[in-house]
């Protein structure tokens, strides 16, 4: 490993840890704060989707003009393997066969308003559920893009997966499963989407939060022929930085009670570097990216009503501090050469769904619709 790479990784780790440490010193700011990741623990993921069943999603900062749920007739036909989803807005819950994983994978899909061929993959966090993608419950993606000419593709499940192809099968609650999410998203799902929803295999964007944000960056880096734009919200953009070899496995084990090293091998193995966005920045400089991180200072969505909520917010502060530090390091690496990335650092906000919902609204206007030519006009 070159001295430049070592210095870069060390600096990124110091930045992340220093950011988190400085926020711990400012812990009195927790008074009056509440985690928006309901049920979260100290993990790199979407705690809201793990523990907020029945909770009211945060109101988006943007709502589509008008109230017509079906501006034209393209959305009102069920596709093969699908049923109508309870979240409404013409979202269908579909089961798609994955040969690589030898089982059906659920995907929530909202067809494009006018039947356009653009798709937007929305990736969940570490605590992804097996019954819905949190972008439809803890955020309101189906409402944000209701009037737009782009198909929302929201895979369900994949907790702690980083949407990667794992080296070995995973023992999940006594069930031995193949985790081959990169293969599913890039080689198996696109054919189903083209045949049944008209989504072109080479005209997609990808967005995700936390674990899903890191995965979105890597999918765009490795499959630029499929993904023309990527959005990363509170992602971990330097997964081989000091401390991450410990924090990632601990967070994954906390969620899945599985062997985290079944993913990329032991810390320091080549696959860790192959899945580190910072070390793959060269592949991303020609990809339009919209990247956000909060300040880790509690903001408008943080108003606690219990001791548990305060504890969750404290965890959210630490996680967002780590995200912000790694995002700054990633930006410094990207800016060493010309690139197409936009970085947006919120002045407040911890690791929570209210902020990620707003981030998606901002990414929609700033990049997604323009890059994908998905405006409904």
DSSP 90-147: T-EEEEEEETTTTEEEEEEEE--TT--S-EEEEE--TT--SS--GGGTTS-HHHHTTT
Q: Is 227:204 a contact under the CB 8 Å cutoff?
A: yes
Q: Is 369:150 a contact under the CB 8 Å cutoff?
A: yes
Task: Give yes or no: 188 in active site.
Answer: no
Token code pair at residue 211 = 């674990």
Would you state the pLDDT for residue 197? Answer: 97
What's the pTM? Answer: 0.85
Q: Which of 137, 234, 320, 323 is catalytic?
A: 320
Q: Which of 43, 161, 210, 323 is catalytic?
A: 210
What's the CA gap between 33 and 67, in Å, rounded?
34
What's the CA gap between 122 and 154, in Å, rounded?
5
DSSP character string of 66-84? S--S-SSGGGSSPPTTEEE
Token code pair at residue 237 = 């953009």
What's the CA gap between 316 and 43, in Å, rounded?
9
- Distance from the Cα of residue 300 to its chain's centroid: 21
Would you state the pLDDT for residue 2? Answer: 54
Strand partners, 103: 98
CB neighbours (10 Å) of residue 56?
Answer: 8
- Distance from the Cα of residue 85 to its chain's centroid: 21
Phi and psi, residue 185, nearest 5° = -70, -25
Token code pair at residue 160 = 């702690």
Would you state the pLDDT for residue 21? Answer: 45
Would you state the pLDDT for residue 376? Answer: 81
What's the CA gap between 320 and 244, in Å, rounded?
14
Please choose, from the candidates 341, 107, 354, 361, the residue with its C-alpha nearest in 3D space to the C-alpha of residue 217. 341
Q: Please, which residues have CB within 8 angstroms of residue 244's CB and are 6 or more apart in sequence?
A: 13, 236, 238
What's the CA gap between 224 and 19, in Å, rounded?
32
Would you state the pLDDT for residue 324? Answer: 96
Decide the pairing of beta strands 204-209 and 175-177.
unpaired
Q: Is 312:298 a contact under the CB 8 Å cutoff?
A: no
Strand partners, 82: 94
- Tens digit of pLDDT at every position of the chain (377 positions): 555 544 444 444 444 444 444 433 333 332 222 233 333 333 455 444 333 333 334 444 444 433 456 655 688 899 999 999 999 999 999 999 999 999 999 999 999 999 899 999 999 999 999 999 999 999 999 999 999 999 999 999 999 999 999 999 999 999 999 999 999 999 999 999 999 999 999 999 999 999 999 999 999 999 999 999 999 999 999 999 999 999 999 999 999 999 999 999 999 999 999 999 999 999 999 999 999 999 999 999 988 778 888 888 888 899 999 999 999 999 999 999 999 999 999 999 999 999 999 999 999 999 999 999 999 86
CB neighbours (10 Å) of residue 31?
Answer: 9
């Amino acid at each position: 490993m070159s001295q430049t790479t070592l210095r870069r990784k060390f600096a990124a780790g110091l930045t992340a840890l220093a950011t988190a440490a400085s926020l711990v010193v400012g812990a009195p700011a927790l008074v009056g704060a509440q985690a928006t990741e309901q049920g979260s623990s100290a993990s790199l993921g979407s705690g809201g989707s793990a523990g907020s069943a029945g909770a009211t999603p945060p109101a988006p900062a943007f709502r589509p003009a008008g109230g017509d749920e079906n501006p034209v007739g393209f959305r009102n036909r069920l596709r093969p393997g699908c049923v109508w989803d309870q979240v409404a807005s013409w979202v269908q819950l579909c089961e798609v066969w994955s040969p690589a994983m030898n089982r059906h994978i659920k995907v929530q899909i909202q067809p494009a308003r006018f039947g356009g061929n653009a798709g937007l993959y929305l990736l969940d966090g570490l605590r992804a559920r097996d019954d819905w993608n949190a972008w439809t419950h803890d955020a309101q993606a189906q409402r944000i893009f209701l009037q737009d000419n782009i198909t929302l593709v929201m895979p369900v499940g994949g907790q702690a997966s980083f949407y990667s192809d794992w080296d070995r099968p995973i023992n999940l609650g006594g069930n031995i499963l193949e985790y081959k999410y990169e293969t599913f998203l890039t080689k198996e799902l696109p054919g189903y989407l083209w045949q049944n929803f008209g989504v072109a295999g080479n005209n997609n964007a990808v967005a995700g939060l936390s674990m899903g944000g890191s995965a979105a960056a890597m999918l765009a880096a490795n499959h630029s022929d499929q993904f023309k734009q990527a959005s990363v919200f509170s992602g971990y953009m330097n997964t081989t930085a000091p401390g991450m070899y410990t924090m990632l496995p601990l967070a994954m084990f906390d969620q899945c009670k599985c062997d985290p090293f079944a993913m990329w091998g032991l810390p320091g193995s080549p696959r860790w570097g192959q899945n580190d966005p910072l070390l793959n920045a060269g592949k991303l400089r020609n990809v339009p990216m919209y990247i956000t991180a909060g300040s880790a200072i509690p903001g408008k969505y943080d108003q606690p009503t219990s001791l548990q909520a305060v504890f969750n917010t404290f965890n959210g502060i630490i996680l967002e501090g780590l995200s912000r530090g790694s995002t700054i390091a990633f930006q410094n690496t990207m800016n060493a050469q010309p690139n197409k990335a936009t970085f947006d650092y919120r002045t407040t906000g911890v690791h929570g769904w209210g902020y990620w919902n707003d981030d998606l609204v901002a990414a929609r206007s700033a990049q997604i619709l323009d890059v994908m030519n998905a405006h409904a006009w």
